[in-house]
């Protein structure tokens, strides 16, 4: 992966792409005060360097009948590499897990899971999460309301 030093023009490009990744190169170039060729070259360099990881659509989870968000703290019996890998591999295979972080503090992992309803969450919990070897405890918290949700980094 090529090394890219991100300058203020790159940050401007990234800000506009985060706001609307469907901008054409000409529109983006205009917004960042570049001609189209140098703008495209910068975008390609940011992609090649892994600064831009991909492009996607944000889907409203309520619109696709996944209104329940659950934050789950998971503690493992032991924090050894093999147990961490076992847990992470199992979590990577679950489509309802939207985010998973290895944490410091009381819990080893923090997950964000989406579900259709409480029964679907219970199914995930009983059939999958509790079946992962090495899981010592699970604490679930249900989101009542989403106050802030951002996907754009504050550049």
pLDDT of residue 88: 98
- Asked whether 128 and 89 are in contact (CB, 8 A), the reply is no
- Please tell me whether residues 42 and 73 are part of one structural domain: no
pLDDT of residue 5: 86
- Please tell me whether residues 89 and 42 are part of one structural domain: no
Longest dimension (CA), the chain: 57
> What domain range includes position 18?
8-48
Q: Is residue 61 part of a domain?
A: no
- Please tell me whether residues 82 and 119 are part of one structural domain: yes
**Mode of pairing for the β-strands spanning 109-115 and 135-142:** unpaired
d(CA 65, CA 114): 10
CATH number, domain of 119, equals 3.30.70.920
Q: Is residue 116 part of a domain?
A: yes
- Please tell me whether residues 12 and 43 are part of one structural domain: yes
Averaged pLDDT for residues 24-40: 97
Q: How many domains does the chain have?
A: 2
d(CA 145, CA 147): 6
Does pLDDT of 74 surpass 90?
yes
pLDDT of residue 96: 98
Confidence at 2, pLDDT banded by 50, 70, 90: low
Q: For 76-123, what is each residue's pLDDT tens digit?
A: 999 999 999 999 999 999 999 999 999 999 999 999 999 999 999 999
Whole-prediction pTM value?
Answer: 0.88
- Please tell me whether residues 133 and 72 are part of one structural domain: yes
């Amino acid at each position: 992966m090529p090394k890219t030093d991100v300058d203020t023009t790159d940050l401007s490009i990234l800000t506009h792409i985060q706001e609307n990744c469907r901008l054409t190169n000409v529109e983006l170039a205009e917004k960042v005060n570049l001609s189209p060729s140098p703008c495209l070259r910068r975008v390609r360099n940011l992609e090649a360097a892994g600064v831009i990881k991909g492009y996607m659509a944000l889907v409203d989870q309520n619109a696709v009948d996944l209104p329940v968000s659950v934050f789950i703290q998971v503690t493992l019996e032991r924090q050894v590499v093999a147990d961490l890998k076992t847990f992470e591999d199992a979590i990577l295979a679950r489509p309802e897990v939207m985010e998973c972080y290895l944490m410091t503090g009381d819990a080893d992992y923090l997950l964000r899971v989406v579900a259709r309803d409480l029964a679907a969450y219970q199914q995930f919990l009983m059939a999958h999460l509790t079946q992962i070897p090495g899981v010592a405890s699970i604490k679930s918290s249900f989101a009542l309301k989403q106050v802030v949700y951002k996907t754009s980094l504050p550049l």
